[in-house]
Amino acid sequence: MRRLLSALLLTTCAGFGACDGRPAKKKVLLIGLDGVRVDILSAANTPNIDSLIARGTFSDRALTRPRTVSGPGWSSMLTGVWSDKHLVTSNDFTGHDYTTYPDFLTRLEQIDSDYATFAVVDWPPLGDTASGGPLITDQIDVKLLFDGEADTGYQIADSQSVAAASAYLTFQDPDAAFVYLGNIDVVGHSTSSLSPEYRAAMEAADAQVGMLVAALRRRPGFANEDWLILMSTDHGRRDDGGHGEPSLQERTIFYLASGPSAIVGVPQRAPEIVDVAVTALAHLGVTLDPAWSLDGRVVGLRPQQAR
């Protein structure tokens, strides 16, 4: 089967750019946008996200589960299991079981330390010991931390994250990367989900998504790489901007998987937040071990990649 797969890859030009006949190197970038109401995202002017959607699988009816707050949301997205396993049920991460259910970057390192892994985050518990964290362990190769909770806020911290990530994505050689942006959620809380400010925060994030994609395209080896760009959010929100309850508005998220290996269109089954990590691992060619007890499924990859 491996030989057949290689032959298939050799006959297709999987990269975005020119193809010299070598199999494209599979890589993953996960962009996490905190607290996005997908109906507002759809109404906003987001040309960069739109162009990713045009080249991939997109669902605006993907789901997470209660409690619809960031602690369990990001834990489920990055580990591929629900709260009954990772044990994070609030924004207090104390008592988590990331030893059994690590984030997908750490899992890659445990599978094969040759994987080059990278993350940049500005909500402290994702990257450091704040509130019982971190979710993303120190086993990954490079973890950059900015502080959205500082007086300068998430707008500045997100800009710092994107600048640092852009440089890293262009000039270094990660196989798997995670970039987190927190400002949308904060604006949603301070102004409501229906405010022009919340919509503008999404449009600013879209520009940052464009910068990250441009950074990938500037890579010297880009023509021979097969980048899967995954994007999702940790929870929806009510009209008043709040979230945490089990309403459909708060549980509804979006799921995007874009790139040469992605199926273009809308998945028949509504994706779930736990599918993100599992799809990232599958794209990189990881054989999913049932002993890991992952809850997610592969969503949006072409059949030869789904395993």
Applying the rule CB under 5 A, the residues between 34 and 53 that interact with Zn ion are: 35
Closest to Zn ion by CB, 122 vs 185, is 185
Closest CA to 279 of 302, 254, 253, 248: 302
| Half-sphere exposure at residue 166, Cβ-oriented, CA atoms within 13 angstroms | 16
Closest to Zn ion by CB, 70 vs 258, is 70
Could you write out the three-class secondary structure of 189-208?
HHHCCCCHHHHHHHHHHHHH
Closest to Zn ion by CB, 185 vs 272, is 185
Task: Compose the 1-40 pattern: x for residues touching Zn ion by CB under 5 A, - for all others.
Answer: ----------------------------------x-----
Give Cα separations from 97 to 91, 102, 127 (angstroms): 14, 8, 16
Helix (H) or strand (E) holding 27: strand 25-33
- Of 60-68, 107-115, 180-188, 272-280, which part binds Zn ion (CB under 5 A)? 180-188
Q: Roughly how many angstroms between the first and final C-alpha of the chain, as a whole number?
A: 12
Q: Is 185 in the site for Zn ion (CB under 5 A)?
A: yes
The minimum distance between CB 125 and Zn ion, in angstroms, equals: 13
Q: Is 122 in the site for Zn ion (CB under 5 A)?
A: no
Could you write out the three-class secondary structure of 139-152?
CCCEEEECCCCCCC
Size of the site for Zn ion (CB under 5 A): 2
Closest to Zn ion by CB, 118 vs 123, is 123
Q: Is 250 in the site for Zn ion (CB under 5 A)?
A: no
- Of 75-83, 168-176, 178-186, 250-258, which part binds Zn ion (CB under 5 A)? 178-186
The minimum distance between CB 187 and Zn ion, in angstroms, equals: 10
Measure the CA dihedral 94/278/140/118, to 10°: -120
> Do 274 and 282 meet the contact criterion of CB atoms below 8 Å apart?
no
Task: Compose the 62-101 pattern: x for residues touching Zn ion by CB under 5 A, - for all others.
Answer: ----------------------------------------
- The sign of the CA dihedral 212, 16, 219, 283 is positive
Q: Match 């640092």 to its residue by tokens.
A: 164
Closest to Zn ion by CB, 185 vs 226, is 185
- Of 179-187, 221-229, 251-259, 296-304, which part binds Zn ion (CB under 5 A)? 179-187
- Applying CB under 5 A, the residues found at the interface with Zn ion are 35, 185
